[in-house]
Amino acid sequence: MAIWTLAKKDMRLLVRDPRAMIILLAMPLIFIVVLGVSLGDNFGKKAAEGLRVSVLNEDEGVPRFFDRPAMIGEGAGWLLRHVVSGLAATGVTPNMFTFFALAVNSWAAALFAYGRFRQAAAVLFFAAFLDMADGQVARRVGRVTAFGAFLDSTLDRYSDLGLYMGLVVYYTLAGRSFYMTLAAVAMASSFMVSYARARAESLIPSCKVGFMERPERLVLLILGGTFNRMAQALWVIAAISTITVIHRVVYTWQELRAGRSLPEAGVSQAS
């Protein structure tokens, strides 16, 4: 009953604040649309575009139901292209950007642990840009490699775990055990979104269904920290990530029943 009471309280606060509701529910979608249109088919794809890597691969967060021929995102695309050109001109390798993004994410995680949510949100915004830029820089300088994709995807998982662990530490030290558990559930469900896709794509050609992928989760954490609505953001992440996992399980089951499996799927025994 205590869990249900707290859940109703958090949702009631969200409903009573229309601005917060719009921010948490609509802004991630708007953000993804703008970047998706500005970057086109490259958005969310890492350095080894077109290369198959059997790891916990990076989520591609562009909903496929948006059409590209739109003016939204044109300015963002122009700015990003110039920024990427400047980063490429520095001579810093894409893998160095990947490690730098991990360090910045760790900084944001530490700020979350100290309860400095607004500062953490600002640092996380910078980290998200770095995480997006490494793949763009790799393509710009012609250094697209399978290992780069593997490294980036692996360190992304550490970055995600670090951010949620920071929130777990904060709520633990604050004596708010329920929200500590909520942050842990959000962490687990976020990890399972990536794992479900990676495992599914060892059986079927593609499993990109669902909405709550890594870009959306990062946007929600940034918005939750910026507007002091972290509890509500965690509820949204935990709930919709779980729905995304279920969607991917059902989709994989349907694809396998329809006979659309990979040739090696029959001998795959990975757990």
Please state the domain count of the chain: 1
165: left (phi over 0), alpha (psi -120 to 50) or beta: alpha
Instruction: Quote the Cα angle for 57-63-69, to 5°.
Output: 125
Whether the predicted pLDDT of 229 surpasses 70: yes
User: Does residue 229 fall inside a structural domain?
Assistant: yes
Other C-beta atoms closer than 10 Å to the C-beta of 37 total 21
Portion of the chain with pLDDT greater than 90, in percent: 42
**Residue 270 belongs to a domain:** no
DSSP secondary structure of 5-51 = HHHHHHHHHHHH-HHHHHHHHHHHHHHHHHHHHHHGGGTT--TTTT-
List the CATH number of the domain containing 98: 1.20.120.1760
* Residues 40-74: tens digit of each pLDDT: 444 444 333 333 333 344 444 444 434 443 444 45
pLDDT at residue 192, as a whole number: 95
Question: What pTM was computed for the model?
Answer: 0.76
**Residue 196: domain span:** 2-53+66-264
Residue 194 has pLDDT above 50, yes or no: yes
* Closest by Cα among 34, 44, 73, 38 to 215: 44
